[in-house]
Chains A and B, each alone.
Chain A
Amino acid sequence: MAEYKGIKGFNIQTVSSDPANPLVGEVWYNSTSATVKYFGILSDAWATGGSLSTAITKLAGAGTQTAGLAFGGGSFPYLAGTEEYNGSAWTAGGNLTTGRNFLVGFGTQTAGLAAGGVSPPFTTATEEYNGSSWTAGGALPSANYKSAGCGTQTAGLFFGGSETPYTGTLEYDGSAWTAGGAMSQSRRNAVGFGTQTAGTAVSGRNMPPAIIINNTEEYDGSSWTAGGSINTAKAAAAGAGTQTAGLFFGGGYPIVANTESYDGSSWTSTSAMNTARRYLGGAGTQAAGLAFGGTIPGETDATEEYSVGGPATVTVTTD
């Protein structure tokens, strides 16, 4: 069996702690942990995160990978629960006043927003989260569900859905919704991410004729224009990020695990989730995405965290 010295011409350096600024390809023996390590390049990947306290589907999400928010969802009953994520575990937050599924969620863990959904039947209710409890916000002009949205609690965007106007867009200012520019295409169960003035609508199903569509539309605060075409069109997926750095994952009929990233003009396939699911919640950024809950086909409590690859210290393992 070849030895490191025979290959490289010198022994592996023994150190008591990992080097502060290793070079890619550098190998060392950490005497404290009694492990051989190297500094390598990892690819983008999903890792498991802390599980939700309840397996749940058709929920909404907001926030970041280390300060996430999951709320609503379920079917019979329609759930009102909220859970907060700290990067490793979920804990209970305040309940929505109106339990519902297929709702839209965005914002942050301490300034979240929930709008629309099935309660049943369909609701106009908007609720705002302050980090501990939900209070009523301005109602949607008309009830809708399976819509998408993005933005913040004081500058939000709500678009598409299963009720007319299927192409409609609404803008929220922290107290009321007003009409924005219409999308060129109807879509429900689409994914939204970005901001009110730089929003993104991805894939989904148009209506009618209820065909899964693969296009992206981008909002500039007043009108939508065409963006790049996604590689795998699907509805009931989730997303995260911004108009120029987006992430789109899960969803589909049948259920898929694939993930695509967006640079503002084109989509690129990246590492798939470890568990395929649809009707999941999503949050975070392109570089640090968060997926939770969904249907696999039973309901799941699993959370996954997406991280971009790059240089990292890796511990060498052996059989």
Chain B
Amino acid sequence: MTKTYQYCVAENWGKGFIDHNESSRITFVGLPGNVWQVPAHNKHGNLWIAKVAGSVKTLAEAQSIVDAEVNVAQATWDALPDAEKAPAVEGNTRPADITLEE
């Protein structure tokens, strides 16, 4: 199956990490663990990964990194006092798992 996305790990250094031109050309999806999803088989995606010295990951590798970060967030939420998790404080739902796409 032809993959739609590719993944890399790159630390966001701030200004210039993704510039307006790059963002207007392709869709970026930033994920926990400094994982970035960009279009596969795409010149602009490939150039951006090279620019940021991204470490390309397979889907499984990227999923594992994201899972580890989400697990930390879930553990942090689990450790909150009950008052912080009470229904009255809506929206404080337990962080949901994130499933990456091929």
A274 close to B32 (CB less than 8 A): no
Among candidates B12, B20, B27, residue contacting A51 with C-beta atoms closer than 8 Å: B12
Among candidates A50, A210, A272, A275, residue contacting B15 with C-beta atoms closer than 8 Å: A50
B47 close to A48 (CB less than 8 A): no
Q: How many A-B residue pairs have CB under 8 A?
A: 102
For the complex, count residues of B whose C-beta is within 8 A of A.
39
Chain A CB within 10 A, most for which of B17, B23, B44, B72: B23
1/0 per residue, CB under 8 A from A, across B1-20: the answer is 00000000000111111111
B30 proximity list for chain A (CB < 8 A): 274-276, 296, 302
1/0 per residue, CB under 8 A from B, across A200-226: the answer is 000001000010000000000000000
A274 close to B23 (CB less than 8 A): yes
CA distance A44 to B96 in the complex (A): 30
Count class of interface residues, chain A: 35 or more
B32 close to A297 (CB less than 8 A): yes
CA distance A297 to B73 in the complex (A): 6
A210 proximity list for chain B (CB < 8 A): 90
A254 proximity list for chain B (CB < 8 A): 96
Min CB distance A314 to B, Å, is 6
A50 close to B90 (CB less than 8 A): no
B76 proximity list for chain A (CB < 8 A): 298
Min CB distance B57 to A, Å, is 17
B15 close to A88 (CB less than 8 A): yes
CA distance A279 to B18 in the complex (A): 22
Among candidates A48, A188, A189, residue contacting B17 with C-beta atoms closer than 8 Å: A48
A274 close to B18 (CB less than 8 A): yes
8 Å CB interface, A30-77 against B:
42-51, 75-76
**B93 within 8 Å of A by Cβ?**
yes
CA distance A266 to B90 in the complex (A): 28
B84 close to A75 (CB less than 8 A): yes
B28 proximity list for chain A (CB < 8 A): 274-275
